Structure 1
Amino acid sequence: MKINSVLKVKHVAWASAALLAIILLIVVTHSAAKSSTPSSPLAMVEIAVAEQRDVPIYGEWIGTLTGQVNADVKAQVTGYLLTRNYKEGSFVHKGQVLFEIDPRTFQAALDQSKGQLDQAQAQLIHAEAQLATADANQLKSQLDVEKYAPLAKVDAVSKQDFDNASQTNLANKAQVRAAEAAIASANAQIRTNQAAVETAAINLSFTRVVSPIDGIAGIAHAQVGDLVSTTSDALTTVSTLDPIRDYFTVSEQEYLALQKRFSDSGVDHWKLQLILADGTTYPQEGQFYFVDRQVNQNTGAIQLAALFPNPDNVLRPGQYGKVRAVTRVQQNALLIPQAAVNEQQGSYLVAVVDKDNHVNMRPVQVGERTGTMWVIQGGLKAGDRVVVEGQQNLKPGMTVQTKPFKSNVE
């Protein structure tokens, strides 16, 4: 019994020692596993340094393109449209026939006017012949009167012969006056008929509707077979597109500031950029053309116009054409990339990384934008490092890894 008790005690001791060894092994293994797990990596952000330099400040205004000249091509006579002789949207030359109106009525009117003119000219020839005969007869009768007058005083001829000669002379003078009146009437009729011929010829020429200018011809608003007249809408419109005009409006305050800037600087022309509807910048630079004579009292804005070269006629009237131009140069402006600025409920925040790579969020006051940069008017100083990429999930006090920001914009 005593031996069994001793063995039982030893067995319990061994079991306790084994359990303790297992527990120690688990603890050591857990500690080793914990110590072997790597720590979470620091967030990687791209930073840019706030820089200070002189920058141009741009203004942008919404504009609309239109032709330098937009000529409405209208019918000037009434008739049925026979043909359309141009390709819509193509370039046409001054004097090129665009449409033809049925000319038969106008050709008939011209032929009739010419016939009436020929008749009047024949009447003139007949009247001139009558005048020549009347002049000859009047001259003969006048000589007879002059011959009989002294003879009648001495009774060398009878009074009856002298009276007959005088009456014949008076009749011949009346015939001369009648022939002269006939000539005047014939000349007046000729002038009237000549005007009628000229009018008929002009109307006939109007049946060939031509382009008044060199330019791009638009869509035809009348089709073959339509009855057109002087009261009809334009058959089409032809526009000169090189250069093309861009109308845009500026506020009265902007206009006064621009006027002062250019008068003070002595700049004689204002170079402009054209931003198209897809956001691209038109490669050709434009120039200021004119300013309207008055400010619109309803809007407080004034209209300006710019001209842009358009050698390939790529730009067309009616296109959106935002105008962009330098309005002033800001000296020693503090700049950071626009992507570094976060707008939150009307305020602007920037994530700034200090020399120990700790993050702090700083409110800033922003000014104008220039290119991809933003002018900062307060809250930063030159040399501050701001986060441009990787702002997501950043919190004040975090430690981050940094690398320089590289812009894709040239």
Structure 2
Amino acid sequence: MPQTSARAPERARWDRRFGAAPTLAALSVLALTACDAGNKQATADAAHVRVEAATVTSDVVRASATGEIKARVESDLSFKISGRVISRTAGVGDHVMAGQVLATLDPTEQKADLESARAAVASQEATLRMTSSVLTRRKALTQTGAMSQQNLDSALQQYQSAGKDLEAARAKLETAIEALQQTELRADADGTITDRDVETGQVVQASTTVFTLAHDGERDAVFNVQESAISRTVPQSMEVALLSRPDVKAQATPREVSPALDRSLGTVRVKLAISNPPAEMTLGSAIIANVVLARRERVSIPWQSMFSKAGKPAVWVVDPDTKITRMKPVIIERYDASRVVLSGGLQAGELIVVEGGQFLRENQSVSYTEESTR
């Protein structure tokens, strides 16, 4: 029998003891390789997003309104009598002094009435002098017995009647003088003409406004504000600025809120008293008032972080420990230029997805770098 045949049982025993080892080693290597590949694939599948830590900041609630500068006191000037305008000496924008003539009516009729009234006064004065002389003579004659008491009483009545007629004539003279004066429309104060509704040759009626005069002195900022805004607490001091030059500013305080609503506009007129207005804030200047209505702590987030869940606003948040996402509903208070101010739903420090959220799903693993958080 050959030698090889004698060793066959021994080789068989070796194969049974160690022949499976290479196979197990190979399987172990394959398993480790598969696990490593699986981890790499899981890492590759994790979405990379940019996140931001929600921070609480002081939120200032502001409101603004546009208006114009007006005089604290304005006068509507009108003629007290009717007539035809023969001259106009002032226009819009002119600064006038108290007593200055602004326009004149044709005084022909009033001058004629004045001359007639003066003549009547002169006539009644002459009559009074004559009756006074007669009364004096009759008193003397009555004292000597040369004239009866009846004649004296008659002279006294004539004198008294002449006195009353003179008073009436003088009253008419004063009326005629006043009527002539009323043919001239004069400024009632120092100020600036802000409106005019009269031309030379025009016939105007009594009490029809022909000029509006803004008195010199204190100035108001006048606004037409939506009725809903009036329900808020109006601050006791606010800043107004020229609309064309925001650097020209002044402090103002509420002075008057109209009790009546302009139903055509749905607004309420509000007047603010301006303290020491700059020279640039001239009458009629367009201004803007910036009002701080409230200061409070709020979370604000970038608008691009906003999504919706079941039709309601929500954001993606990331658990910093597990790096797992979930969508969290939030309550929006208002929208600013580039951020959304929240009144609830997020706490300070929570990580919100601000970029890449459109590709996320619930409970998804994500990756982000430290540089991505703020």
* CA RMSD across the alignment: 4.7
Shift of 1:372: 7.7
**Aligned to 1:236, which of 211, 230, 251?**
211
**Does residue 328 of structure 1 match 2:303?**
no
CA distance in 2, matches of 1:304, 1:54: 29
Alpha carbons of structure 1 residues 281 and 81: separation in structure 2 relative to 1, 3 Å: same
Q: How does 1:52-67 map to 2 (within 5 A)?
A: 52-60=56-64, 67=71
- Indicate the percent of aligned positions where both proteins have the same amino acid: 18
Counterpart of 1:235 in 2: which secondary structure? Answer: strand
Q: How does 1:6-405 map to 2 (within 5 A)?
A: 50-60=54-64, 67-141=71-145, 168-170=146-148, 173-230=149-206, 233-240=208-215, 242-249=218-225, 251=227, 255=231, 258=233, 270-274=236-240, 283-293=249-259, 304-308=270-274, 310=277, 312=279, 314=281, 316=283, 323-330=289-296, 332-336=297-301, 348=313, 364-368=330-334, 375-383=341-349, 396=360
CA distance in 1, matches of 2:282, 2:352: 41
CA distance in 2, matches of 1:84, 1:370: 54
Shift of 1:138: 0.4
CA distance in 1, matches of 2:256, 2:224: 11
Structure 2: gaps spanning 5 or more residues: 1-47, 361-365
Counterpart of 1:258 in 2: which secondary structure? Answer: coil
Counterpart of 2:73 in 1: which secondary structure? Answer: strand
Contact 2:307 2:315 in 1 (8 A): no
CA distance in 2, matches of 1:341, 1:316: 47
Shift of 1:102: 1.8
CA distance in 1, matches of 2:212, 2:77: 6
Counterpart of 1:284 in 2: which secondary structure? Answer: strand
Q: Which position in structure 2 is the counterpart of 1:40?
A: none
Q: TM-score, normalised by structure 1?
A: 0.60
CA distance in 1, matches of 2:80, 2:104: 12
Alpha carbons of structure 1 residues 69 and 348: separation in structure 2 relative to 1, 3 Å: farther
Alpha carbons of structure 1 residues 105 and 58: separation in structure 2 relative to 1, 3 Å: same
**Amino acid in structure 1 at the alignment position of 2:73:** V
Shift of 1:239: 2.5
CA deviations 1:106-165 (Å, max 9, x no partner) are 122112211111111111111111111011000111xxxxxxxxxxxxxxxxxxxxxxxx
Shift of 1:238: 1.6
Counterpart of 1:106 in 2: which secondary structure? Answer: helix
Contact 2:49 2:353 in 1 (8 A): no
CA distance in 1, matches of 2:83, 2:261: 45
Counterpart of 1:183 in 2: which secondary structure? Answer: helix
Structure 1: gaps spanning 5 or more residues: 1-42, 142-167, 260-268, 406-410
Counterpart of 2:200 in 1: which secondary structure? Answer: coil
CA distance in 1, matches of 2:109, 2:193: 28
Contact 2:86 2:201 in 1 (8 A): yes
CA deviations 1:211-245 (Å, max 9, x no partner) are 223333134322111122216x3212123474124
Contact 1:333 1:376 in 2 (8 A): yes
Alpha carbons of structure 1 residues 226 and 254: separation in structure 2 relative to 1, 3 Å: closer
**Amino acid in structure 2 at the alignment position of 1:221:** D
**Amino acid in structure 1 at the alignment position of 2:191:** G
Q: Which position in structure 1 is the counterpart of 2:12?
A: none
Contact 1:135 1:176 in 2 (8 A): yes
Contact 1:68 1:245 in 2 (8 A): no
CA distance in 1, matches of 2:281, 2:187: 21
**Amino acid in structure 2 at the alignment position of 1:328:** A
**Amino acid in structure 1 at the alignment position of 2:105:** I
CA distance in 2, matches of 1:240, 1:403: 62
**Amino acid in structure 1 at the alignment position of 2:299:** L
**Amino acid in structure 2 at the alignment position of 1:111:** E
Counterpart of 1:95 in 2: which secondary structure? Answer: coil
Shift of 1:177: 1.5
CA distance in 1, matches of 2:175, 2:81: 12
Alpha carbons of structure 1 residues 130 and 296: separation in structure 2 relative to 1, 3 Å: same
Counterpart of 1:127 in 2: which secondary structure? Answer: helix
Counterpart of 1:198 in 2: which secondary structure? Answer: helix
Shift of 1:74: 1.3
Contact 1:275 1:282 in 2 (8 A): yes
CA distance in 2, matches of 1:279, 1:372: 25
**Amino acid in structure 2 at the alignment position of 1:207:** T
Alpha carbons of structure 1 residues 329 and 221: separation in structure 2 relative to 1, 3 Å: same
Q: TM-score, normalised by structure 2?
A: 0.65
